[in-house]
Amino acid sequence: MPNSQAITAMIWAPGLNDGYVPQGITYADGHVLVSSYQSNDPKVGGGPCRVYRLDPETGRTTGQFDLPPAVRHAGGIVYACKGMLIVADTRRLYRIDLARAFADGNSEHALRGTISLGGAVKGSFVDFRQGSILTGVYDKQPAGSRVFFLPYELFDRAADSVVDERSATRSFAVATMAQGAAFDARGYLWLAFSNSKHGLLQKVDGQRLEHFAFALDGLGENGVEGRDAVAGDDGAPVRAPQAVANFAPVGFAQLGQVAPVEGAQRFLRSDQNSVLPKRPWRCRARGRLRGLLHL
């Protein structure tokens, strides 16, 4: 498996036996948080949503809470510091007080604002950096594949109203089938791309894009500061895959300070709207492996 040497731990995703499909992942105050939707039908990509809290050392679930009934996918989550979690659900972003939500087991009294998304802006995945929300669009067509930066202060409006691309402070096109985003400790943006058979990580770094293969051995959907990284042939530290579920990398989060790991496979491309390779890495395993998180 390409870049398998960068994986330091694997944890079973929570809620699998109850039909929960993991989606977003983030790191908050020493814990891993995972968002999931409940569906026992592979053809149904949504349902009641929940956030789990995990101990990264043991993999044990230490808490959980249900998201508002209107949330049906919870494709991305990110810790925005000061105890606040942002949840992306395609056409709406939610800000949630984590302490209250975990104490209550639900988010009914923990909601601290919403941002409704319209036009070209969608919340397929989300990240946060220096007062800006990055929200991105999963699309199979290049025209719709973009990320947008929105002011965090939009959560503080007296009343929620739909915002579109005109509210974005920055936007740019990305490759198709983007599934997750994370900023590393140096401020570089990393994007994850996948379909049911192939996975790819992309470092958005000025004029040059770096791509890293991720073979899907039956693993399969989304910065902070942490411990897993790989290095390319020039020794420059880069991020490694962080989370896997549903046979495709759909989310990842930086868990520590970057450090070189020998032998990472790197692919350079000059076109930002590059596509996933058609066949080089195949999904070989099935069954329970689809619920593993890579850390």
Over the stretch 197-223, which tens digit does the pLDDT of each residue have?
A: 778 888 886 544 555 554 433 222 332
Say what percent of the chain tops pLDDT 90: 57
For 90-98, what is the mean pLDDT? 98
pTM attached to this predicted model:
0.76
CA–CA dist 9, 241 (Å, integer): 11
Burial 191-206 (b: 16+ CB within 10 A, else e): bbbbbebbbbbbbbee
Q: What is the pLDDT of residue 120?
A: 97
Q: What is the mean pLDDT of residues 134-147?
A: 96
Largest CA-CA distance found in the chain, in angstroms, rounded: 52
pLDDT at 240: 32
Listed in sequence order, the DSSP H helices in 151-249 are none
Predicted local distance difference test score (pLDDT) of residue 194: 86
Which backbone phi and psi does 218 adopt, to 5 degrees?
75, 10
Q: What is the mean pLDDT of residues 92-106?
A: 98
The secondary structure of 237-255, three-state, reads EEECCCEEECCEEEECCCC
List of domains in the chain: 4-276+288-294 (2.120.10)
Per DSSP, 106 falls in state: B
Contact 12, 30 (CB under 8 A): no
Structure tokens at 93: 């972003």
